[in-house]
C-alpha cells in the first residue's frame, strides 16, 4: 500500500505516511501552478511516445489524452488549481498525475511509464521559459515601437532639451534622440528574449528518466517533435539538472526591467514641477490620502522597485544552483521557484511600463526653454578651437575660463566670448561655433549623434530590425 497518499507519485517502499509538516515544507505547488499548461503538453507528448513504442494500446492512449485535455480545460478557470490544493499535492506535476488517475483510473496508472519527475520538470520548465521569452520579446517590441513612433513625431517638431550627465546639464539633444535611446535599449532586450526562446527549442529533456535514460524502447524524437524541439538532449545526466534556459529567461527579464527602471528614473524626475518636462496623465497617476494636490507617477516608481526585486531574485536563483552536483537534487525546486517568481514579476513590471508610457505627455516648451541652461554649447566651442589647431587640453582650459567669466557675469556664452577666445588662442581667423542648442544639435557630424539626419537614420534602422 502507498502510505504517501493518492496525490503523491511515490511511497511504496515506506511503511509510514510522510510527516505532514515536512511534506508541506517540501511542497512547491503554489510556486509551480503556473507550469500546469506546460506540464499537460509535456504529458501529451509522453503519451504519444508510449503509444508509438507499443507500451500502451490505442484505447489507453486515447483515455490519457482525453483526461489531459480535460485538465487543460480546467486550468484557465482555476478549477484545476483548487483541486490540486484540495489534494495536498506535492507539486503541479504530481497534481496532474493524480487528476489523470481520477479522470481515467485504469489508463492513469500508465502515464508515468518510462518517465521521472526529473525529466518531466526539466522539460516543463523549458517550455515555460520558451513561452515567457516570447512574451517578453513581444513586450519589448511594443515598448521599442512606441518609443520609435514618439521619436518620429518629436523629430518633426525638433523638440530640444539639455541632456544630463551626473544630473548636470551636459549637451543639447533632440527629444527624438532620447526616445531613440529608449528604443535601442528595448531592441536589445527583445533580442535577448529571442535568443532564450531559440535556445529553449534546441534539446528536449523528456525521456532522460531520472538520470540515465530508460530501458523501455522510447523513441525520444517523437516527444521532441511534439513539443517543437530540434532534437532530444544528448546526455540524460546533464539534461535533468540543466537550468540554463530557465536562468536565461529570468536574466532576460531582469535586464529588461533594469532598462525600464532607468527610463522610469528619468521620467519620475522629469514629471516633477522642478523639471516640468513631462506630465503623467490621470489614468497612470495616483494621488495622496492627505495632500489633495498630489499627482504621483506610481507605475514608474514601482518599476524601479521591481528592478531591484528581479535583480535579487536572479542572484538567488543562480546561487541556489551553484552547490548542486550533476543530475537532479531537491535544491533545484528552489531554483524553479525563484525563476518563476522573478520572471512573472519581471514581465508584469514590463507590461505596466508599456501601459504607462502612452500616458506621458511632453512639455516641449519647458524643455526648449531650459535647453541652453548650464552652458551646454561649451563643448562645441572647444571643438571649434580644436578644429583651428588648438590642443584639446588648451581648448578645454580656455573655454572653461570663459564659462567662469560668463557665470560670474550671470549671462550665457555669446559672440563676445568667441572673439575673446580667438584672441586668447591667437587665431588669425574668426572663431565660429554654435551658440544656441538647436544650432549645436544641427552641427553634429558623427554617425549615431543627435543631429536630425543621424536620428532619422537610426530610427529607420531600428524599424528595419524590428
For each successive 10 residues of the chain (466 residues), what is the average pLDDT? 53 62 68 94 98 98 98 96 88 92 96 94 97 98 98 97 96 98 98 98 96 95 98 96 96 98 98 95 92 93 96 95 87 91 97 98 96 96 96 97 96 96 93 97 97 98 96
Q: How many whole angstroms separate alpha carbon 180 and alpha carbon 449?
A: 11
**Reduced 3-state DSSP string for 390-454:** CCHHHHHHHHHHHHHHHHHHCCCCCHHHHHHHHHHCCCCCCCCCCCCHHHHHHCCCCCCCCCHHH
Looking at residue 1, its pLDDT comes to 42
What is the CA angle 381-382-383, rounded to 5? 90
Is residue 120 within a helix (H) or strand (E), and if so which, with residue range? Answer: helix 117-157
Q: How many whole angstroms separate alpha carbon 431 and alpha carbon 165?
A: 27
Looking at residue 221, its pLDDT comes to 98
Task: State the pTM of this model.
Answer: 0.93
Identify the CA nearest to 124 among candidates 47, 61, 40, 64: 40
What is the CA angle 464-202-65, rounded to 5? 110
Q: Please give the grid coordinates belonging to residue 327.
A: 543530475
Q: How many whole angstroms separate alpha carbon 419 and alpha carbon 406?
A: 14
Handedness of CA 45, 48, 52, 53 (dihedral sign): positive
- 3-state SS class at 323: coil
Looking at residue 306, its pLDDT comes to 97
Specify the residue for cell string 532607468.
Answer: 262
Domains of the chain: 20-113 (1.10.275.10), 118-211+231-369 (1.20.200.10), 378-435 (1.10.40)
Looking at residue 26, its pLDDT comes to 63
8 Å CB contact between 261 and 185: no
- 3-state SS class at 273: coil
- Name the β-bridge partners of 286: 296
CA 398 from centre of chain: 46
8 Å CB contact between 218 and 204: no
Looking at residue 328, its pLDDT comes to 85
Looking at residue 420, its pLDDT comes to 96
What is the CA angle 330-331-336, rounded to 5? 95
- How many angstroms separate the first and last alpha carbons of the chain? 59
Looking at residue 89, its pLDDT comes to 83
Identify the CA nearest to 337 among candidates 121, 183, 141, 114: 121
Amino acid at each position: 500500500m502507498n502510505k504517501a497518499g493518492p496525490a503523491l507519485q511515490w511511497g511504496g517502499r515506506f511503511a509510514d505516511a510522510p510527516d505532514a509538516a515536512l511534506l508541506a515544507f517540501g511542497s512547491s505547488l503554489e510556486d509551480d501552478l503556473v507550469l500546469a499548461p506546460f506540464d499537460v503538453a509535456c504529458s501529451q507528448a509522453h503519451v504519444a511516445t508510449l503509444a508509438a513504442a507499443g507500451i500502451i494500446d490505442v484505447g489507453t492512449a486515447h483515455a490519457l489524452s482525453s483526461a489531459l485535455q480535460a485538465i487543460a480545460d480546467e486550468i484557465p478557470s482555476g478549477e484545476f488549481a483548487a483541486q490540486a490544493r484540495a489534494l495536498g499535492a506535492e507539486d503541479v506535476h504530481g497534481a496532474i498525475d493524480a487528476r489523470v488517475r481520477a479522470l481515467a483510473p485504469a489508463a492513469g496508472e500508465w502515464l508515468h511509464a518510462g518517465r521521472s519527475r526529473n525529466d518531466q520538470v526539466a522539460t516543463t520548465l523549458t517550455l515555460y521559459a520558451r513561452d515567457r521569452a516570447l512574451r517578453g520579446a513581444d513586450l519589448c517590441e511594443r515598448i521599442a515601437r512606441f518609443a520609435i513612433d514618439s521619436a518620429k513625431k518629436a523629430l518633426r517638431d525638433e523638440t530640444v532639451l539639455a541632456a544630463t550627465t551626473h544630473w548636470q546639464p551636459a549637451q543639447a539633444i533632440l527629444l527624438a534622440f532620447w526616445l531613440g535611446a529608449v528604443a535601442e535599449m528595448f531592441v536589445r532586450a527583445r533580442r535577448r528574449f529571442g535568443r532564450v526562446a531559440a535556445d529553449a527549442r534546441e534539446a528536449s529533456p523528456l525521456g532522460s528518466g531520472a538520470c540515465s535514460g530508460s530501458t523501455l524502447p522510447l523513441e525520444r524524437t517523437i516527444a521532441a517533435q511534439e513539443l517543437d524541439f530540434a532534437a532530444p538532449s544528448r546526455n540524460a545526466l546533464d539534461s535533468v539538472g540543466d537550468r540554463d534556459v530557465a536562468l536565461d529567461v529570468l536574466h532576460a527579464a531582469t535586464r529588461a526591467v533594469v532598462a525600464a527602471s532607468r527610463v522610469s528614473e528619468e521620467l519620475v524626475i522629469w514629471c516633477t514641477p522642478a523639471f516640468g518636462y513631462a506630465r503623467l496623465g490621470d489614468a497612470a497617476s495616483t494621488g495622496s490620502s492627505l495632500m489633495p494636490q498630489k499627482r504621483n507617477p506610481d507605475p514608474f516608481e514601482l518599476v524601479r522597485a521591481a528592478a531591484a526585486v528581479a535583480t535579487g531574485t536572479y542572484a538567488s536563483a543562480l546561487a541556489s544552483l551553484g552547490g548542486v552536483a550533476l543530475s537532479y537534487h531537491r535544491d533545484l525546486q528552489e531554483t524553479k521557484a525563484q525563476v518563476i517568481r522573478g520572471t512573472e514579476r519581471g514581465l508584469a513590471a514590463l507590461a505596466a511600463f508599456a501601459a504607462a508610457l502612452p500616458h506621458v505627455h511632453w512639455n516641449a516648451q519647458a524643455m526648449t526653454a531650459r535647453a541652453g541652461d548650464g552652458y551646454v554649447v561649451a563643448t562645441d566651442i572647444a571643438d571649434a578651437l580644436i578644429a583651428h589647431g588648438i590642443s584639446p587640453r588648451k581648448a578645454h582650459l580656455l573655454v572653461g575660463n570663459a564659462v567662469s567669466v560668463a557665470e560670474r557675469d550671470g549671462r550665457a556664452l555669446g559672440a563676445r566670448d568667441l572673439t575673446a577666445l580667438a584672441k586668447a588662442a591667437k587665431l588669425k581667423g574668426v572663431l565660429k561655433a554654435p551658440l544656441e542648442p538647436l544650432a549645436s544639435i544641427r552641427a553634429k557630424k558623427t554617425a549615431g549623434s543627435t543631429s536630425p539626419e543621424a536620428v532619422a537614420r537610426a530610427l529607420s534602422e531600428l524599424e528595419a530590425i524590428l
